[in-house]
Structure 1
Amino acid sequence: MSLPDYRSSPHYKTKDLLKIRVGRWVYPQATARWLNYIADHPFLTAGLMRQPKLFTKILRPYLCDGLSCGQRVDTLIAHYNLVKELGLTTLTSQGLLDKFTLYRGPTKSGEEFRIDLSAGWQGQREGEYCLNLIYKNETLFELNFTLQKHQDRLVMVIGRLQGTSRDDAQQWVRQATTDLHALRPVNVMLHAARHVAFILGCTSVRMVSNKNRVALNLWRRWRITANYDKTWTEAGAQLASDGFYEIAPLGEKDIDLSEIASKKRAEAKRKQTLLNDMYAGLKTYFEEHRDDHPVAA
């Protein structure tokens, strides 16, 4: 198959077309390989017409520090091969167009919180899928991940976890924490991601460290305030020898109340009910919206 004329798309600006021309010149083999792969997959071809970043992301640092352009293409091809194998092409096609809701549920006050998903464009240098935690229609956290094989096993690789940039972010997070039965929104976001990994059959969730996270330059690194190492460690992850943190996927479970003080048990039950309801909702969505006939890579 051949690519459509993306140059005629209104979504492509002059700077996008310039990047593509430079990429074809500087990285001819890697660029050709990625474009040929896109051309062979209609769900990506349609996305390319709307998302210039689906092309240009191979020209910039991607997912973790130190990957060459050829390795970035390898990583993307491996991810989308897994998308086909797992029956996620329909979900991905939808996510390339816009965010959509995987789960919505009530909080203590009755306000709604949601888990949305997009593909290929949100936080696009740090993972192909982006989960969004939305409270009162405000995005509090975004989490990007890519699917990979590591030591011949399916894993989720988290490349980005970012909170809202609002000036009153702390106030929003405090309010959401109260409404989520004292669950911190960042932890709800991580629980959702780890359960998606469980649903997809991943054996591990791997997370970039402060040292190997993507940053274009020293100025951006200086401005980054998120401490990934601290966040992952607090979640129970262990640092692996290759510089990634690792933690197990998360299935539904009951809590052991025997070690919880009696006056805190009711709140603990409410927390677990909220999480298990979210887990069940995510599982149902993926079961109902996966491709009827997954394709082997």
Structure 2
Amino acid sequence: MMNANQNQSTEIIFILLGFSDYPELQEFLFLLFLVIYVVTVLGNLMMILIIKITPKLHTPMYFFLSNLSFVDFCYSTTITPKLLEILIVEDRAISFLSCITQLFLTATCVVTEAVLLAMMAYDRFVAICNPLLYTITMSQKLCILLVAVAYSWGIISSMTFTYSLLVLSFCRTNLINNVFCEYSAIFSSSFSDKQFTEIILFSLANFNTFCTLLIILTSYLFILFTIMKMPSTSGRQKAFSTCASHFTAVIIFYGAILFLYCIPNSKNSWLLIRVSTVFYSVVIPMLNPLIYSLRNKDVMDTVKKLMGSKICSH
């Protein structure tokens, strides 16, 4: 064994098994994930562009949404290219430094996205429960500060997770029965005392999940009470429609992660773990721009105008 902090860390190798036990599916999975990645990149970059060039969308909600799209783009780009590589090459090895770097970037994106979703819930709470004070409460300065907090806390949490793994010892060659360098997979590969790492993982992961979910659930509880008190049916429908996209994204994001960590880590559940990991790390970044665009009249109107102007120019 060798400690990750030692100068010999470059000799530590991780083998990403991915879906190697299904060789007949490699080409199909490669094409599937390639299409998903292309749609993810185009969808999220298009969302950012539409919000930037449309003055009507220069509001706090869309400011948070553009940052969510940026995080999803980074998240997918951190994972999917390596996943595509291990599907078509025989050498599935990844160096310790590359593996830890991938972990750091993915953890940053996950935590940042969770915080952004909580802030977007708070934004909807202010918009529906205190509409007259919305422009004052959700000022540009506050929105920038909240987004800065989201990125900063994502980096701090990721640095903590990464450090908790760097103090562990690993063999020269380690198998990761997953599609990327996920925290629990690296953690399971170590043969050293894991008590400190377990405490870090349990404390910080639960703190992040509990705090963000508390903000989201509390915000939506007040939103629900406010909507139910509205006298007009059209007003209630409009209020529900402004929350529908975000609430759908929250359910998918937290549902996938909670489902993944409820799966027993046994040999019989390895396939289910890999599929669930792919869903929340590869598929969800593709779904978010689709959810927000298809269910959002302002975004769809902008898309139609852009497509209409492009057709007229030809």
With the length of structure 1 as denominator, give the TM-score of the two structures: 0.28
**Greater share of strand:** 1
**Greater share of helix:** 2
Which of structures 1 and 2 has the bigger CA Rg? Answer: 2
Query: Greater relative contact order: 1 or 2 (C-alpha under 8 angstroms, separation 6 or more)?
Result: 2
With the length of structure 2 as denominator, give the TM-score of the two structures: 0.27
